[in-house]
Amino acid sequence: MRKLSILFIAMMLMAVVDVTAQEYTKSTVKGIANGFISTLTQGHLKGALSFFDPNYVAEQHDDFLEGRTEQFLAEFLAGNYKKGYYFITPELDRIKSMKVKKTCCDLEKDEIYADVQILMDYGVKYTVRLQLRVTDDGDLRFIGAVG
């Protein structure tokens, strides 16, 4: 029941984004990032995909990675730690916590992101920048590298 409640809350956050199209703020970005974090940490990997640009999911997840959702999400959350010396692609079940540290929402400069700090269960802590963009439908969704 709790898992369904979390998923419902995440979907409601996304509905709020639809209603406030083109009025995106740092608070909106933080809400989307927190909804994604909540969905992901509850183990709803398929639900986490709903936070991504559908075109990006089709190209990267469906085509390039042939539907490997765990790999898609792990690669999206990959980042550097120890001043950029080490690179980590996390095992999702080893993520201890995730916290939004900073957001930016400057549509004129096309800078929309959330910096999220990730703590692994073995003590490694790093920050990854999660990029967002306004989709063709006016929704704000995550994007990442392709290939």
Give the model's pLDDT for residue 23: 78
Top pLDDT among 50 and 107 is at 50
Given a cut of 50, whether residue 18 has pLDDT beyond it is: no
Residue 55 lies in a domain: yes
Check residue 22 and give its pLDDT: 57
**pLDDT at position 86:** 86
pLDDT at 131: 96
pLDDT in tens, 54-89: 999 999 999 999 999 999 999 999 998 877 678 999
Q: Which has more pLDDT, 9 or 47? A: 47
pLDDT of residue 14 exceeding 70, the answer is no
Q: Is residue 42 part of a domain?
A: yes
Residue 147 lies in a domain: no
- Give the pTM: 0.81
Q: Furthest-apart CA pair in the chain: how many Å?
A: 42
Structural domain that includes position 84:
2-142
Average model confidence (pLDDT) across the chain: 87
On whether residue 25 sits in a domain, the answer given is yes
Is 93's pLDDT higher than 60? yes
Bridge partners, 127 (sequence order): 117
Paired with 56 in beta bridges are none
What is the number of residues in the chain? 147
Structural domain count, the chain: 1
